Every structure is written in C-alpha cells, then in structure tokens.
Structure 1
Amino acid sequence: MNTQTAPSPQFYLTAPAVCPYLPHEMERKVFTHMVGERAPELNDLLTQGGFRRSQNIAYRPACESCRACISVRILAGEFKPTRSMRRILSANRDVVSTEYPAEPSSEQYSLFRRYLDHRHQQGGMSDMSVLDYAMMVEDTHVNTKIIEYRLRVEGQGITGDDRKGPLIAAALTDKMGDGLSMVYSYFDPAQQDRSLGTYMILDHIRKANERGLPHVYLGYWVKGSRKMDYKTKFLPQEHLMARGWERYTGEPDAAESE
C-alpha cells in the first residue's frame, strides 16, 4: 500500500516593493501556489491563517518593519446592521443577486473597466486587459463563484435566475468550510448613491447566515489607511493577531447603532 503523503506547499518571499497603502513603507509578501485536489482544503487553512487568494496564489504580508495589515472576518451570526446600513439595504431592494460559476463575460469586464478607470486609475490593476480579467475570475482551483448584482426588471422575481436587468456590481467569492471570502468586488461608479460596496458585504453576510456559515472574510484592514476604514464598520468582527483571532472591540457611532 502506498502511504506516501502529498508534498507540503512551498512558500516563497517577494522582493521589497513600495506599499500601495501607507506612504514611506515597503511591502513584502510570502506566497504559495494552490493547485490540485488539495487546493480547497489548503485555501481554508491559509485563509484562516491570514492569507488571501489571487488566482491560484495565496499570499500574506511579510513586511519587515510594519504590521499594519490585519486580517478581518465578520461574525455573521451576531451581526446587526446599523441605521445607515438599513437605509442602504432599503435603497437596494430593487437589486437581484445571482451566483454563477466563476466564468468571465464581456459585460463583467466592461463594468470592471469602468470601475477601475473611475476609482483606481493609478492602482496596480489599472492596466488589466480582458484576458487578465478572465484569468482573475477563472484561474481558481477552489470553490469560487461570481455573484452578479442586477437591477430587477418588470416580471423578474426577488431571487431572479437569469441575466435580465443591467449589471451594476459583481463579486468574486470563495466558499469555504467556515464562511465566504470576498476575493474582489467592483461596481458601477454611476451608481455611487447606492453604496454598492457596503451593500455587497451586507448581502454576503445574509448569504453566510442562510448557509449556516459563521464568517465573512474581508481581507486586510490596513490600520492608518483611510480607504480601508470601512471594513471595521461591520461589527462584531474578529481580527487575526499574534495570539490568534481576537474579537474586535471597536464600536460604531451611537447615532449609527440606533
């Protein structure tokens, strides 16, 4: 009988690069490949250990002088929306979310391109081509879905099952044993008043609760980066610290929690 175990993943370290979030800081990452039959199991373990997935690569910060990046996961079963979040849910009652296999479309890329051009013109993803986008979506060896958010049209049910209305947002999401991990999301910048970024997180919390999954993983909160502050508004949540996952004690504004 063959008792040889599968090889353990090999980890590598990137060279220092300019940090995209904090001025005067340099970033390094440790990463490994996730391929083959063990990829879903490995994705669960690494995500629970603070890694993020990009295509078939799992990575986490390994910066020499900075510990600002903190992994965040929402405790879905305990979550209670704030008053402003309830307004966002109400404002998007005409939005239908539908899950599909992780397959790209030209419609998705068109929306993705508008999002990048409006919000991330100088970012590392700003020059992504349609082929780059296709790889981002479909190069996965884990249980990944693309969730499309469309405006409901007349005659379409609350949980629509087809692509009828206009596409206004999308999220690439991994389903894990203990939760949903939001890999990447984007939305129509012309729909800014809908707060679609927040709405997609709220919808993932709903989906996690419906499936009995305790967590929604949001990736990294970068302490000191204002554009990452939104991640700490979804309470209660846990942060991955030196001793493991710890409950975050921050509180929303009193007016927000009413």
Structure 2
Amino acid sequence: MRHSLPFAPQFYVTAPQPCPYLEGRMERKLFTALQGENAQTLNDSLSKQGFRRSQNVLYRPSCSDCAACLSARIAVDRFKPSKSQRRTNRRNAHLTRKATSPWATEEQYDLFLTYLESRHADGGMADMDVFEFAAMIEETPIRTRVVEYVDDLGALTAVCLTDVLDDGVSMVYSFYDPELPQQGLGTYMILDHIEIAREAGLPYVYLGYWVPGSAKMGYKEAFSGLELYRQGRWQPKDPGEDYSAEVHPLSVDPIAEQVANIALPDLRKG
C-alpha cells in the first residue's frame, strides 16, 4: 500500500509479521526511502517524529491494533546518573572510545556474531552474513559514525553505529562482548553517548523504541531525563503513568491520517 504527500517522499506499509516484543501481536511498519541530496534533512526531521533509520530506509511502527512502541530519547540537560550508572562508568574507565567512518571490519563482525549467538540467537539478524553486516554499517546516506570501545590491551569490546542529527545523536545499533556481563557495556555505551552529545553541544540521545510490557526494552527506563514521542509530541516519561493503554486497538490512527500528520521539511529545489 502506498501513501504520499505533495512534494514529499512516498510512504509505504509493510505486511504484518509477528511482533518481536509482545507475544501474540502482529507488527507493521510505515516507511520511506532515505536517499538523495535531502537525505540528512529528511532524517533530522523524521527522527524528531519517532522514525528510525535502517540503512537507506526510515521507518516507524504503525501496527493496526497496537501503539506500544514509543520512540525514546534522553534529554542531556536533565540526565543525572544513578549510583549504579556511576559504578558502571567506573568499571569501564579502562575503555577507550574511537569514532570512525562507517566502515565494517572483520573484528566488528566477529564481535557481532558472538553477541548475537549469546543474546539474540533466534532474532531476525541471527543469519546475517558478512556482506549483510557490511551493508548495515556502510549503507548510509547521512552523517554516521562507528563508535568503537577498546580495552587497555587493544581488544574490541563494544561497538555502536551512531547517526549524528541536528539535535542529537541516534544510537542505531549497538553490540558488545557478552562474556563481560559484569561491566554493563550496554548501559555504558548509552552513558558515553550522553557524554558525546554533551561534548558536541547536542541536546538529545535517541535510543530507539521503548515498549511497555517488554522485558527486552526495560533497561531504557533506568535513565533519567527520558522522553517519549506520544500523541504527536515529545513528553517526559511519567513514572506514575500507566502506558499499557497504548496496546489498546483504539489508540491507533488510520494510516492515511498518520501520513497526513507527518511534518516534512520543504524538500523542493529553488
């Protein structure tokens, strides 16, 4: 199914498939191509409206009977590390950050496979070969970095594919050594990206989606300054609010209405 707006990219909807986060539910995505000279502008604009990038595509969940996937970001100026997060920073003080161009390496791929085999052996990426991995890293029409973390012996310990937006950094995909659970490397990379954003004077760190009721996404709740894109605007996450209503079928607007409500930059030439 195709939907469009004047002077705008074409939007499409995927066929339903089993949801990876909530058992018994079906997932559907609204997506558009990310290409051409306006790719960075489009990515900046749609990221502020809950979209995420995957290679040359921007997508947002658009399920027919569920709106549980809420785009999440951390407001850097409102973030205060917890005692546990401060301990995580101290445990990883021996790691060195290296930000490079989006270029895939065999060392990255080996770490990626080890991570998947340990954490997501039954996931959609489990069968990704080295060429598909290289495409995930390298096929980007926008400003993207690979942020590597190496230990004091030079061993690659963690990696994050990171987009640079006009108002923040977006953690597209991250993976790490699963044999070091005591180091809290997933948490550490988020903490370090908060520092990266602060160093660059950018106000937000985009984390992807938070899904109430999904244990896979629960770790995102541990960060103060968390904001959720909900009902067309960013709102601070309220610890006292029940977000389970987002799973109700009446919480979903029709596709045509969703597309009509997308605010797009003027991509016309001249």
User: Taking structure 1 as the reference length, what is the TM-score of the superposition?
Assistant: 0.89
Q: State the partner residue of 2:239.
A: 250
Looking at structure 2, the residues matched to 88 and 167 of structure 1 have their Cα atoms a distance apart, in angstroms, of: 18
1:85-142 per-position Cα deviation (integer Å, ceiling 9, x unaligned): 0000000010001100000000000000100111100000000000000000000001
1:162-212 per-position Cα deviation (integer Å, ceiling 9, x unaligned): xxx000000000000000000000001111110000000000000101111
SS at match of 2:157: strand
Q: State the partner residue of 2:96.
A: 96
Deviation at 1:152, TM superposition (A): 2.2
Q: State the partner residue of 1:118.
A: 118
Q: State the partner residue of 1:86.
A: 86
Matching of residue 61 in structure 1 with residue 61 in structure 2: yes
Q: State the partner residue of 2:201.
A: 212
Q: State the partner residue of 1:192.
A: 181
| Paired AA for residue 87 in structure 1 | R
Deviation at 1:226, TM superposition (A): 1.0
Deviation at 1:14, TM superposition (A): 0.5
Matching of residue 34 in structure 1 with residue 29 in structure 2: no
Matching of residue 25 in structure 1 with residue 14 in structure 2: no
Looking at structure 2, the residues matched to 57 and 68 of structure 1 have their Cα atoms a distance apart, in angstroms, of: 21
Looking at structure 1, the residues matched to 116 and 226 of structure 2 have their Cα atoms a distance apart, in angstroms, of: 28
1:213-258 per-position Cα deviation (integer Å, ceiling 9, x unaligned): 000000000111011011111111211110411111228xxxxxxx
Higher mean displacement: 82-91 or 236-245 = 236-245
Matching of residue 227 in structure 1 with residue 216 in structure 2: yes
Looking at structure 1, the residues matched to 42 and 120 of structure 2 have their Cα atoms a distance apart, in angstroms, of: 31
Q: State the partner residue of 2:191.
A: 202
| Paired AA for residue 61 in structure 2 | P
SS at match of 2:37: coil
User: Taking structure 2 as the reference length, what is the TM-score of the superposition?
Assistant: 0.85
Looking at structure 1, the residues matched to 56 and 221 of structure 2 have their Cα atoms a distance apart, in angstroms, of: 28
Looking at structure 2, the residues matched to 238 and 25 of structure 1 have their Cα atoms a distance apart, in angstroms, of: 25
Looking at structure 2, the residues matched to 141 and 123 of structure 1 have their Cα atoms a distance apart, in angstroms, of: 26
Looking at structure 2, the residues matched to 243 and 33 of structure 1 have their Cα atoms a distance apart, in angstroms, of: 22
Looking at structure 1, the residues matched to 214 and 197 of structure 2 have their Cα atoms a distance apart, in angstroms, of: 27
1:66-103 per-position Cα deviation (integer Å, ceiling 9, x unaligned): 11100101011221100000000000010001100000
| Paired AA for residue 167 in structure 2 | D
Q: State the partner residue of 1:159.
A: none
Matching of residue 16 in structure 1 with residue 5 in structure 2: no
Looking at structure 2, the residues matched to 243 and 198 of structure 1 have their Cα atoms a distance apart, in angstroms, of: 28
C-alpha contact 2:171 2:206 (8 A) present in aligned 1 = yes
SS at match of 2:93: coil
Q: State the partner residue of 2:145.
A: 145
Identity %: 49
Deviation at 1:7, TM superposition (A): 4.5
C-alpha contact 2:210 2:220 (8 A) present in aligned 1 = yes
Aligned residues: 235
1:42-64 per-position Cα deviation (integer Å, ceiling 9, x unaligned): 00111111011000010001101
SS at match of 2:159: strand
| Paired AA for residue 242 in structure 1 | Q
| Paired AA for residue 56 in structure 1 | N
Q: Which runs of 5+ in 1 are unaligned?
A: 1-5, 154-164, 252-258
- Root-mean-square deviation (CA), in Å? 1.2
* Runs of at least 4 residues off by over 6 Å: none
Looking at structure 1, the residues matched to 206 and 114 of structure 2 have their Cα atoms a distance apart, in angstroms, of: 25
